Structure 1
Amino acid sequence: MPTSPSSGAQEARLAVAARLREIMLDACLQGQELAALCGWNGAKTSRIINAKTAPSDKDIRAWCAACGADDQAEDLIAANRAVDSMYVEWRRLTRTGLRRLQESAVPLYERTRHFRAYSSRVVPGVLQTEAYATALLATVADFRRTPNDVTEAVAARLARSRVIRTGNHRFAILVEESVLYYRLGSVATMAEQLAYLLAVMSLPTVSLGVIPFTAVRSMWPVETFNIFDDAEAGMELLSAQVTVTTPSEVDLYARAFDRFKDFAVYGAQARSLISKAIDSLE
């Protein structure tokens, strides 16, 4: 993974440029020939291939059409659009604190109809209680040395989470059993959080699955990720937030989610695992 937003964006630009060059060569075309077919000069083709100029959506469609590769245009357009936002360091996102970061995601949550989340580390944000969110965000603020606006950030996160009870949304959420035992905050905080998980399981909009320690796996635990409809997937790394919108990459996370859900347990079995975690607090 790149060490900075700029290096990450440049690598993504180079990847798009390299793919366009491969498409041109696969069509047995040279730069000048492709330029003639697209109706621009050869210098533009050279700048695009060398990642000196970012192609527009129109450029990519023309390029793929000239090469007989129209079926690859949409993936390339999505990758090209995502270049500057696909990898953003937390220090850039949280330089004014955590509240604005919570608020910035509200439009995405409100327009998403099918929300899928997998977590191997913490209770997903939309299911967090006030005390749990406070303990988590306080730890985040301290570790990342952000301005301390934890109270405001928690309020913003809880306001964002209202989507599980309003509007036309469906939430499919999977957590590793270990999430139930990672203690953030006091015993009372964890007990309240786990009890809240039992409560939200009854909501018709929420499907909550727990992947047991004992599950026979055909997929290893991976980084926590969210999928918003089939349009976007987001991951939270220690150093940065990663967003992918390329259809093939979003599909990769969707396939991982489908594997995880097959060895999760639901309903009474999930309740039993959560209740067992509550009992362990005592």
Structure 2
Amino acid sequence: MTLPPNNTSGSSNVHEARNALGKRLRELRQQAGISGRRLAELLSWPPSKISKLENARQTPSDDDIRAWTRATNSEAETEALLASLHTLEIQHAEWQRQFRAGLRPHQQEIAELDARTHTFRVFEPSTIPGLLQTAEYARARFTEGVLLFKTPNDVDYAVRTRMQRQELLYRRDKLFHFVLTEAVLRYRRCSVEVLLAQLDRLMSLSAQPNVRLGIIGFETQYVVGPWHGFWLRDKDRVTVETFSAELNLAQPQEIMLYSNVFEQLAAVASYGRSARAIINRIIDDLAPEVPEDGG
């Protein structure tokens, strides 16, 4: 089985949902017998905005929806349109918009979602999952986000929130299955000292009775390639993070696809002593780089 890189059905669904919303706005305008130019005049908008909204080149705001339905005498459609808009926003949550007020709101949302999730299945080919991170590794990841997106710097709060989230790992009513590539454990996305502490943390967490940690070594033959990371939360949602946005997929066929992909990746991973042997090998490779005095 092979998958095209970065061409998830979720991206297509987001585009289709945005198109459907624009098409519905156009239908309401046409039903009211109002031209695009006239509607722009009524709303004091540039005519180009009408075209962009109807052709899915711009996503409307809540106020845009309400103004549109008032002007087209279709206020009975307002709630349905707002529901469609909010579903679209959940499906495709742009990082720039999410982080506009800093890292705090998004971390709170994740914590609430974690609390509702019973079974976590996580595959990561490039970074340690947040639930397994040490405070300093998390700090490096959040700092990277602040630099990339030019967000308000509330890294300290974000780190504390992430550490609090990790209390879930000690709840026996939660089940966790993580599959990481060996590359994740070797990428220099922080100092060697921080990385070594992170690897030690993975060693201890791998012994947790409700945590299953799989490592796919470099020598492993893949059946399904590690195109990108994703989180499966119960059987309700798949979360995929890209550079620009977070995709939340909820279609049954999408969840089934990602469940099958996860099972293929999990099947070639090493667990228990074999996984810890891979981690120990990496620790042995990195340890000589740290001065004996730890400085």
CA distance in 2, matches of 1:264, 1:160: 26
* 8 A Cα contact 2:123 2:180, kept in partner: yes
Distance 1:192 1:104, change over 3 A: same
Give the aligned residue type for 2:250. Answer: T
Distance 1:182 1:233, change over 3 A: same
* 8 A Cα contact 2:172 2:210, kept in partner: no
CA distance in 2, matches of 1:95, 1:8: 25
CA distance in 1, matches of 2:117, 2:108: 15
**2:90 is the counterpart of 1:85:** yes
Distance 1:219 1:8, change over 3 A: closer
What corresponds to 1:117 in structure 2? 122
Partner residue of 2:205 out of 200, 210, 222: 200
Map 1:63-82 to 2 at 5 A: 82=87
Partner residue of 1:224 out of 220, 225, 229: 229
What corresponds to 2:136 in structure 1? 131
Partner residue of 2:265 out of 260, 263, 266: 260
What is the Cα deviation at residue 160 of structure 1? 1.3
What corresponds to 2:181 in structure 1? 176
* 8 A Cα contact 1:219 1:256, kept in partner: yes
Fraction of identical pairs, as percent: 32
CA distance in 2, matches of 1:10, 1:177: 34
What is the Cα deviation at residue 136 of structure 1? 1.3
TM-score, reference length from structure 2 = 0.70
* 8 A Cα contact 1:218 1:259, kept in partner: yes
What is the Cα deviation at residue 120 of structure 1? 0.5
Partner residue of 2:151 out of 142, 146, 157: 146
What corresponds to 1:46 in structure 2? none
Unaligned runs of 5+ in 1: 19-42, 44-49, 53-78
* 8 A Cα contact 1:114 1:170, kept in partner: yes
CA distance in 1, matches of 2:222, 2:229: 17
* 8 A Cα contact 2:22 2:55, kept in partner: yes
**2:165 is the counterpart of 1:160:** yes
* 8 A Cα contact 2:123 2:178, kept in partner: yes
Deviation per CA, 1:87-122, whole angstroms, max 9, x where unpaired?
A: 121000100111221111112111111100000010
What is the Cα deviation at residue 51 of structure 1? 10
Unaligned runs of 5+ in 2: 1-5, 24-30, 32-53, 57-83, 289-295
